[in-house]
Structure 1
């Protein structure tokens, strides 16, 4: 059982987090004691050693999920809803413990981690409510000779692959609809942040989750574990959040057994500020859209397109706001931004900035890697960015705002859509006609109109083009885990 005290120290939080694999309702170590280290990105120190699953253990987890599937599918919807709602309540009661755990293994500030706990809990609550609203259909056939019954049934055992940047929200966003629909699952958390997933599953067990309904197999060798799972005919669905290259690989593997797929892949979000925009709102929205999660978010604003008439004022205001933020260990209440996830990611962000400035862009704030432990990178603003700069084409995944200018609405739309990605976009304008035109023509699955935050458990989250397939959240979120079965009933006799 998880602790109920709200005054936890980092060491005591780690005392109650399981580090084994969870298969068939049991916590088990990896064979030969194989583990991998989980690091605190703020210090570079090891937090814990977690059991390292092999391919065979992944198949064992699928076996447990397969055995549990008929029983879990037969559990009444109200009972499934009650388990999810109980988990929601327990999670909110333990906000401080989970927030601290998120901060320790991912790096974000405690304030942001608390927000993630609330966000994750929202998915547990939303899909608890959706579980009892799974419906079907009934009608008379076109020629009147039959009745058409449409049933909606669980897809079956699912593989849920989650990223490191939201170690509680992403597992919750996948596990909750799977359970609500009556599906069992094998969860593979990111190796950087497996502790929070284990804590969430412990909480679900406390809420009444039966054995085998959710199984967790952390691993440091993802492809070696996922490939045999994807090739196994018992698996019926894969849901993945991560990079587009890995998503393409999983889609190719899923084709072999024609698996149902949900893919939330890379982003390259444009942030468009029109000449008539409310600049106070636009700057505030930019701070949210760019710096949420230290910029390590698929929905982070990546490319800023600002009308030439207001570009300098917007840049000055953004520089002023960013320059006031403090970098530090996330557990310090005065910290605004924590570290990036690891040294590799920090080097990548730093290289992008250095390359862009060397190519002619103007560095307005930040841009220097601070000394000391941890993987910190300062909030950075770059203007006069060349149109062909790599920083415009690639997802930054860091606290860097790269600003370009435009003069016409058509120019802004062309620039915004000139990418293979299409997850989210942000538009700031006070002109209703322009707002509607741009929202309709921008090629993304989500749009923040005069708003720098789009995530909501009650709304369909997902992208178009190479940003993904399917939706998570909203009324369509549970559909990803349900199949329709058509029954034709003869009524002529």
Structure 2
């Protein structure tokens, strides 16, 4: 069994430190509910110190202008992550409850590959564009467009896929020349602290360029959104919290990036292989106990084959079950916390109140840790709260449609617009339906969009801006136009 990394510590101005007042809080293994470590409970002074260090590093060091230094440091971090991969993976399973099979994707490999990808990008990126000579108002001028780092970035990340989201923010921000204060979720502080330790011990990043603080208090964390020394807040999490961050950042008109919730629809058209599509969607809804914002949690199927789709989805989930994330065969592990389990359980009660029925699952699993049975809900339409609200658990709602137009209507009848999928026996037909779905990503006939070079983000209340890809890198750049005499 791989040993877990050293004790979690914050990184502030180049130093690994505890909380200013010495307080800590427990880190729990969601599969067992047992304490596996403790994290520093950052004080307001700790957060302010990290902001001050990031501001000083941006304003006074050469980080923002020295591309060669940035490339060297990011390559060092990439190498350190690969060298410590086993410990990172073990910590991810222990702290997050993430099944091991996900380490080859969002759990570890893809985000680490993404760090390498963005480092390659910045090495060849054209930060200046020559617009040539023009004579506006009769004055001959040579114009240049320059891309410059936005400044100090507060990166606020959730608990569901910490390494993916931490690196999807930190990598591009550092590559762009920004300095960063990373604030992880209190449920998963250790992975962020381990990233900070690798930076401190294995890279040449100047002090203050990258900082990690781990407050449990929302009030203390809120300083990152209100402090005028912070130029940008990059947040991933719930739509409700995103609204609060946007409001808190408004008085200082910070740039705000938001990657928020989803209630994505998997549309199955009447000429598709229903069994394959329904089974695949049920499998997806079980991954990491459904704790993914882009997971398809509405299965939208032809009305005349509704009962068949429900049976296939239920049988798939029963085969998968909920297993210890350390089990090599685990797909659906535990929920992250007691609070999240209670939230999902409340939605299961609501499903019955709304007139739904459980084709499988529907109950909390009575064992140590935070477990819910993989669940298929039938008998509800798209107006139900179960079909409209993000549950963030292994819960799939099956909804009937009456043709392509109706399927599009159902998919778009949502406050969210993050992801989705379309399955058809005709690629042309699937493409035509996908083109009408208002989401930031969509899979057509089994295509996979998740990759470091592919922008990810949502329409409507699923967020503002894009993460990953060139678009994700450019979120951390300002645009300056310069005119000189020609």
* TM-score normalised according to structure 1 size: 0.93
SS in 1 for 2:469: coil
For residues 128 and 281 of structure 1, what CA distance do their matches in structure 2 show? 39
Question: Counterpart of 1:92?
Answer: 82
Q: Choose from 73, 90, 99 the match for 1:109.
A: 99
Determine the structure 2 residue equivalent to 1:82. 72
Structure 2 residue aligned with 1:308: 303
Alignment of 1:304-453 (within 5 A): 304-451=299-446, 453=448
Given that 2:184 and 2:192 are in contact with CA atoms closer than 8 Å, whether structure 1 keeps it comes out as: yes
TM-aligned CA distance change 1:318 to 1:90, over 3 Å: same
Aligned residues: 479
Matched, 1:240 2:235: yes
Deviations 1:270-290 (A, max 9, x none): 111111113354135314531
In the TM superposition, what whole-angstrom CA distance separates every residue of 1:105-137 from its partner, at most 9, and x where no partner exists?
111212223531102202211111121233221
Partner of 1:302: helix, strand, or coil?
A: strand
Q: Does 1:60 align with 2:52?
A: no
Residue 456 in structure 1 maps to residue 451 in structure 2:
yes
Give 3-state SS (helix, strand or coil) of 1:476's partner: helix
CA distance in 2, matches of 1:287, 1:77: 45
- Structure 2 distance, partners of 1:207, 1:344, is 37
Residues 452/287 of structure 1: CA separation in 2 closer, same or farther (3 Å cut):
farther
After superposition, give the CA deviation of every residue in 1:82-115 in whole Å (9 maximum; x if it has no partner). Answer: 3223322332333221111011111121222353
Pairing partner for 1:214 from 187, 197, 210 = 210
Alpha-carbon distance in 1 for matches of 2:264, 2:371 = 23
Give, in whole Å, the separation in 2 of the partners of 1:17 and 1:332: 24
1:188 has 2:179 as partner: no
Structure 2 contact 431–444 (Cα < 8 Å) conserved = no
> What is the distance in 1 between the residues matched to 2:401 and 2:358?
19
Residues in 2 aligned to 1:193 and 1:331: alpha-carbon distance in whole angstroms: 17
Is contact 2:288–2:331 with CA below 8 Å preserved after alignment? no
Q: Deviations over 1:128-171 (max 9, x none)?
A: 11212332211234427101011111111110000000121110
Distance of aligned partners of 1:356 and 1:74 in 2 relative to their CA distance in 1, 3 Å threshold: closer
Q: How does 1:116-155 map to 2 (within 5 A)?
A: 116-135=107-126, 136-143=128-135, 145-155=140-150
Is 2:21 the partner of 1:32?
Answer: yes
- 1:485 lines up with 2:483 in the alignment: no
Of the structure 1 ranges 407-416 and 88-97, higher mean CA displacement relative to structure 2 is found in 88-97
> Do structure 1's residue 225 and structure 2's residue 221 form an aligned pair?
yes
CA 1:303/1:287 → structure 2, altered by over 3 Å: closer, same or farther? closer
| SS of equivalent to 2:432 | helix
Q: 1:284 to 1:451 in 2, by over 3 A?
A: farther
Change (3 A) 1:401 1:225: closer
Give the deviation of 1:75 after TM superposition: 5.5
2:39 corresponds in structure 1 to: 50
SS at match of 1:91: helix
Q: Which moved more, 1:347-356 or 1:102-111?
A: 347-356
Q: Distance in 1 between matches of 2:47 and 2:416?
A: 32
The answer to whether the Cα contact below 8 Å between 1:425 and 1:446 also exists between their aligned partners in 2 is: yes
Assess if the C-alpha contact under 8 Å between 1:285 and 1:452 holds in 2.
Answer: no
CA distance in 1, matches of 2:475, 2:63: 15
| Structure 2: segments with no counterpart, 5+ residues | none
Displacement of 1:452: 7.2
After superposition, the C-alpha distances for 1:40-97 in whole angstroms (9 at most, x for unaligned) are: 1111111112111112211110111111114253553233223223322332333221
Instruction: Report the secondary structure of 2:479's partner residue.
Output: strand
- For normalisation by structure 2, the TM-score amounts to 0.94
Q: What 5-or-longer segments of structure 1 have no aligned partner?
A: 1-6
For 1:264 and 1:172, locate their aligned partners in 2 and report how far apart those are by CA, in whole Å: 14
Superposition RMSD in Å: 1.8
Distance 1:263 1:74, change over 3 A: closer
Query: Who is 2:157 aligned against?
Result: 162
Q: Pick which of 419-428 and 312-321 moved more.
A: 312-321
Q: Check the 8 A contact 2:129/2:146 in 1, yes or no.
A: yes
